[in-house]
Structure 1
Amino acid sequence: MLAALAALERPAGAAELRLRLVGEPAHTTVNTVLSRLCDKRLVTRIRDGRQYLYRLAVDETRLVAGRMYDHLRFANDPRSVLSRFVQSLSADEERALRQILDASRPEPA
């Protein structure tokens, strides 16, 4: 749900979001999830006529990265987790990760 909102980059109603989700969740399910995300302050909502429009209230990249870090931090063997993660990357994702790692290294003196 958060990814669908992030991809839109604008407020959207539950019906529009439902169409962007994998599978065919019930409209009531989408509304329930959106309500819970509002309670957690991950999304905000504004009234638009008879419906609510929802907007992402957090930086999705920061949120997902934080979750990844939390999972890694509690792993018994973080090195193995990282290894398995890297093995699961597509060629494009691996290239992007290499570019990020190279850019974060300090220049040699």
Structure 2
Amino acid sequence: MALSRRPLGQLEAEVLAVVAVGGPISAADVVTRISGDPAYTTINTILFRLHEKNLVTRVREGRQFLYRVAVDEARLVAGRMHDHLRHASDSTSVLSRFVQALSPEEEQELRRILDRGGEVP
């Protein structure tokens, strides 16, 4: 039976979400909160990479590190959206599809944000 693997970006996002809710948290504790029984070494590597990207901070406690999110969720998700858009061959089509997928309430909120020059009250 072959194991199904999550794309690294998805697992990275799951790890970051666990740290956001449970931080400060150790790699061992993150392992217990991620579905699919990931290896400790995998989670530890992801936490190390998140630290290198300045998405989490860490402090040593005994022989382990405790991790905490370094950026707020809105900034993190917006950054990912921007990265995806920047790498698209047709960013106009991507934006169009994104807007088409918005609920009427989300579209209204987007219009308000754009009218305010991107500022959120």
Q: 1:3 aligns with which of 2, 13, 17?
A: 17
Q: Is 2:73 the partner of 1:64? A: no
Q: Does 1 or 2 have the higher relative contact order (CA < 8 Å, sep 6+)?
A: 1
In structure 1, stretches of 5+ residues that fail to align are: none
Taking only the aligned residue pairs, the percentage that are identical comes to 56
Q: State the distance in 1 between where 2:112 and 2:101 align.
A: 22
Moved over 6 A (4+): none
CA RMSD between the two structures: 2.4
SS in 2 for 1:76: coil
Alignment of 1:73 with 2:86, yes or no, is yes
**What TM-score comes out, normalization by structure 1 length?**
0.71
Counterpart selection for 2:52 from 31, 36, 39: 39
- Change over 3 Å in CA distance of 1:31–1:74 after alignment to 2: closer
User: How many angstroms apart in 1 are the aligned matches of 2:101 and 2:56?
Assistant: 30
> Residues 103 and 12 of structure 1: is their aligned pair in 2 closer, same or farther, counting only changes over 3 Å?
same
Unaligned runs of 5+ in 2: 1-14, 117-121
How many corresponding residue pairs?
A: 101
What is the aligned partner in structure 2 of residue 97 from structure 1? 106
